[in-house]
Homo-oligomer: A and B are copies of this chain.
């Protein structure tokens, strides 16, 4: 990827995470990135196109974390699933506990913008599908009740995480994230 484009996307990711979509002007982005306006429109059709590509960059990082955790066959499958969220929590801490950009843009834009609604839903769905395959492995290994629906359990995990991420953003703390993970993993295992 072109350096200028990557600079804009990375600066955009930080700005969108903190400010949301409508509060960020292209001029602010250009000032912070030290890039002229013409370059922006060379790489992006519009602010919406830009923000959707920021979502792609965010998802590249999510996929990297998912791969690092879920493909580590040395750990039991439930540990791998929790490991992904522990890694994500660490990222949130580094960001200053601003929560999840997918949740932020999903909340702000999905009432009025179908492109964002569909894209954010697809992102969460993708994350859930990846986690579901680990949960299914756990079920087959006898770590979850035999009648567990791995897909439903993964959706639920993603949804509860997003709520904990919001609370983490409101409190600027990792505590809601940890509490949610302790509850979820404690209760699914306790039900074995």
CA–CA, A160 and B112, complex, Å: 24
| Total identical chains | 2
Q: Evaluate contact between B166 and A107: CB separation under 8 angstroms.
A: yes
Tell me if A's interface is mostly helix, strand, loop or mixed: helix
With contact pairs A120-B170, A155-B179, A180-B156 given, residues A19 and B112 touching in the complex (Cβ less than 8 Å): yes
CA distance A171 to B110 in the complex (A): 9
Determine whether the beta carbon of B163 is less than 8 Å from that of A20: no
The CA of A119 and the CA of B159, in the complex, are separated in Å by: 23
Q: With A156-B183, A190-B191 as known contacts, state yes or no: A169 contacts B106, CB within 8 Å.
A: yes
Q: Tell me the minimal C-beta distance from A12 to chain B in angstroms.
A: 14
Interface size on A, residues (CB 8 A): 46
Query: Which B residues lie within 8 Å of A79 (CB)?
Result: none
Tell me the chain A residues, 81-111 only, with Cβ under 8 Å from chain B.
98-99, 103-104, 106-111
Of the residues B110, B158, B163, B176, contact of A161 by C-beta under 8 Å: B163
A117 at the B interface (CB under 8 A):
yes
In the complex, what distance in Å separates the CA atom of A18 from the CA atom of B113? 10
Closest beta carbon of chain B to A147's beta carbon, Å: 13
Residue of B nearest to A107 (CB): B107
Q: Decide if A136 is an interface residue (CB 8 Å cutoff).
A: no
For the complex, is A5 an interface residue (Cβ under 8 Å from B)? no
Does chain B have a CB within 8 A of A59?
A: no
C-alpha spacing A28/B99, complex, angstroms: 30
Known: A121-B170, A156-B180. 10 other contacts (CB 8 A): A20-B20, A98-B111, A106-B166, A107-B166, A111-B169, A155-B179, A158-B163, A159-B166, A159-B176, A160-B180
A-B pairs with beta carbons under 8 Å apart, 5 shown: A107-B107, A152-B179, A156-B179, A163-B163, A163-B166
